[in-house]
Amino acid sequence: EAGVTQFPSHSVIEKGQTVTLRCDPISGHDNLYWYRRVMGKEIKFLLHFVKESKQDESGMPNNRFLAERTGGTYSTLKVQPAELEDSGVYFCASSQRARDDEKLFFGSGTQLSVL
C-alpha cells in the first residue's frame, strides 16, 4: 500500500515568493491533516480536511496560508507571500479515523527554507 506522499521534499525560496506544497494521502483516507514543525519545536496542527471540506483550520497562522483539497483527494498548501518565520518542516498526515483504530499516517514532510 502506498503511503502518504509529499512534494517537494525540500523547497528553498526567497522572502516574498510563493510556494505550494502538495500532499497525496493514502487512498481511501477521508481525513487529511497538515502540521508543521518550526525551528525544532513541537509539531503543530494547521488544519484538518474531511474529504474536500475544511473541518478545522484553527491552526492556520494567518491569511498567507491557503489550503485546498479539491475533489477530496490530494491537498495543496500555498504560502503567499512567504516570510522568514514560515521556515520549517510541513507534514501531511491522513487517517481513516475509525474510532477503534485511530492513528495518523505521516508523509516524509517538506522542508521549507525561506531566505
Partner 1 sequence: AQSVSQHNHHVILSEAASLELGCNYSYGGTVNLFWYVQYPGQHLQLLLKYFSGDPLVKGIKGFEAEFIKSKFSFNLRKPSVQWSDTAEYFCAVMAYGQNFVFGPGTRLSVLP
Q: Which residues bind partner 1 (CB under 8 A)?
A: 3-4, 33, 35, 40-45, 48, 56, 91, 93, 100, 102-104, 106-109
Cβ of residue 43: shortest distance to partner 1, in angstroms? 4
Minimum separation from the CB atom of position 92 to partner 1 (A): 10
Q: Which residues of 5-36 are buried (b: 16+ CB within 10 A; e: fewer)?
A: ebbeeebebeeeeebebbbbbbeebbbbbbbb
Nearer to partner 1, 7 or 45 (CB): 45
Max distance between CA atoms of the chain, in angstroms, equals: 44
- Least distance to partner 1, CB of residue 18, Å: 26
Of the candidates 94, 82, 84, the one whose C-alpha atom is nearest the C-alpha of residue 21 is 82
Q: Whose Cβ is closer to partner 1: residue 11's or residue 91's?
A: 91
CB of 52 vs partner 1, minimal distance in Å? 18
Q: Give the N- to C-terminal CA distance of the chain in Å, as an integer.
A: 37
